A = this chain, B = another copy of it.
Amino acid sequence: MRIAVDVMGGDHGCGVIVEGVKLALNADKKIAELYLVGDQAQIKSALTRSQLQDARVKIVHASEVLTMEDKPVEGLRKKKDCSIARAIELVKDGQAEAVISPGNTGGIFAAATFKLGRLPGVDRGGIATVIPSMDNEFVLLDSGANIECKPLHLLQYAVMGNVYSREILGCKRPRVGVLSIGTEDSKGNELTLEAFQLCKLLDLNFVGNVEGHDLFKNHVDVVVCDGFVGNIVLKTCESLATGIFFMLKRELTRNPKRKLGAFLAQNAFRTIKRRMDPDTYGGAPLLGFNGIVLKAHGSARERAIMNAVRIASEAIEHSVTCLISREIARADELLGRAKTTAPNSVPA
């Protein structure tokens, strides 16, 4: 397996990414080549500092960085030699099978769209986010790439999320739902009502509409929605969880008795914190492209990068790209068949 890692553009600099890569290389002997893409001098210095000497590591120099302030498309046009573009080109040219970047999400998405291109039959790429629930986790997509969605896009997200949940999260027969405001067929907006009807035609384990209430109750494994709703849900959850833990900390340190209590129970808090830590999930996959693309959190530290590399490696091993391609074609066939047999029952 050959993986390209954009070491620039993260909040904590190149060194942290290289440390994460070192952990991943030690854990995974199946990785044949690992490209570190970015400023050569910084990479060399980070390699020395981390004492990473591994013949599998190759440096690919990129003289520029797409920052969080750069507008995606404009930035990519101006900064032709930016690390994210170079890293994605390695996949395009067949030198790597997967790419990981902690940089500008829009930039990664745009580079994937323009340089790798979408898989045949995929109308829009999507960003999937793995969100922990009480006993397992669910995949939410789209998390913010595709703001104005069509019903067919949601259907394709259902297919892609299903593959990801099954192959990477090990969910045998993922329960797939459309995020809406009531579980009945009749509840929702124009987009979700039509997406519901389309998803019913597929051979997924489609559970229909799911509500906000269902998300953290182990009712669903793949949740599809447009990128506007998905982005708001994702960020609201992050904000609320942070808020609750902030309040907990504040209340638990108010007096010595509570502090002692918190000390005795500290492992309970650690377990929950680890469970809810986005670093566990390594990053958000961009699905629907000709290659495996993972967006690591901007604030990703060593453990997050290690997990991102592990997930990239699993995605390669499970041929996720190929499976998505095949299952999108199958969905297309099922839709075509439904249109032939009952043309009026299938939304356009």
B-contacting residues of A (Cβ < 8 Å)? 133-134, 144, 147-148, 179-181, 188-190, 211-217, 225, 227-229, 231-244, 246-248, 251-252, 254, 257-258, 260-269, 271-272, 275-276
| Docked pose: A181 CA to B229 CA in angstroms | 9
Which residue of B212, B243, B275 is within 8 Å of A239 (Cβ)? Answer: B212
Q: How far is the CB of A104 from chain B (nearest CB, A)?
A: 13
| Docked pose: A275 CA to B240 CA in angstroms | 14
| Residue of A147, A179, A188, A240 with most partner-chain B CB within 10 A | A240
| Docked pose: A246 CA to B276 CA in angstroms | 14
Main DSSP-derived SS at the A contact region: helix
| Docked pose: A59 CA to B239 CA in angstroms | 46
Question: What B residues does A234 contact at CB under 8 A?
Answer: 212
Number of identical protomers? 2
Which residue of B212, B260, B275 is within 8 Å of A238 (Cβ)? Answer: B212
Question: What B residues does A247 contact at CB under 8 A?
Answer: 134, 272, 275
**Contact of A215 with B189 in the complex, beta carbons under 8 Å:** no
Question: What B residues does A243 contact at CB under 8 A?
Answer: 133-134, 216-217
Q: How far is the CB of A188 from chain B (nearest CB, A)?
A: 8
Which residue of B212, B227, B252, B276 is within 8 Å of A235 (Cβ)? Answer: B212
Question: What B residues does A260 contact at CB under 8 A?
Answer: 261, 264
Offer 6 A-B interface pairs, CB within 8 angstroms, sorted by A: A147-B188, A211-B235, A217-B239, A237-B240, A240-B240, A251-B265
| Docked pose: A161 CA to B107 CA in angstroms | 37
**Contact of B147 with A181 in the complex, beta carbons under 8 Å:** yes
Known: A144-B181, A212-B237. A271 touches B242 (CB 8 A): no
**Contact of A215 with B239 in the complex, beta carbons under 8 Å:** yes
Question: What B residues does A229 contact at CB under 8 A?
Answer: 228-229, 232
